[in-house]
Homo-oligomer: A and B are copies of this chain.
Amino acid sequence: MRDVIRATPLYKFLRLCNSSPLEKTVLDCGAGGNDPPLRLFVEWGYETVGIEISNQALDKVEKFCRERDMKLTMFKGDVRKLPFRDETFSFVFSYNTLPLMSKRDVEDTIEQIERVTKPEGLCFLNFVSVDDEGPADSYYEDGEPDYYFTGFDILHKEKRIILIGKEEKQAYIDYIAKKKLVTS
């Protein structure tokens, strides 16, 4: 068994995905980096796809896979224009990527995520809270991202404030939501 992924809030999402009757297909929007969370879903038997715009982040995930002799399907692309047909994936997540985008781009991205998610599929998305003291491109009040989830039922909403002493305070708001069967 491989090590626990760094993006530990995704374990709660995985738990909900595991209990869904939908087929095990998952998309990560902003999937690159040193410790790609998709590997957890591979270990749990999911068919996975990642999309990532940064060459540097793609290089890192390639190095990660090479060193561990594993394969992850990665596309270079823009999460604001997902190159997939409607309702392709049962599960879609984006971890620590939306905070690097303007609110306008976040809105476009979540529209795309909603589009490619199957009805009754699940999404995990996180945002940076206004309580965060570090750099980010968009900050949200506690309930503010609700606005993006009109096509979903929100299953879980959690604010995480990292309080460790000397560093800048970090504060995130995590959402787990289920796409409505019929959107009005």
* A81 beta carbon closer than 8 Å to chain B: no
In contact, B159 and A142 (Cβ under 8 angstroms): no
For residue A122, give the distance in angstroms from its CB to the closest CB of chain B: 14
Contact of A157 with B by CB under 8 A: yes
- Check A159/B161 contact, CB under 8 A, given A1-B44, A4-B18: yes
A: residues with CB less than 8 A from B are: 1, 3-4, 6, 8-9, 11-12, 14-15, 18-19, 43-44, 142-143, 154-165, 173
Q: Which of B6, B154, B158, B162 contacts A157 (CB 8 A)?
A: B162
Residue of B nearest to A129 (CB): B161
**Chain B hits for A165, CB < 8 A:** 154, 157
Give the residue of B3, B44, B155, B162 whose beta carbon is less than 8 angstroms from that of A15: B3
Give CA–CA (A86, B21) in the complex, Å.
48
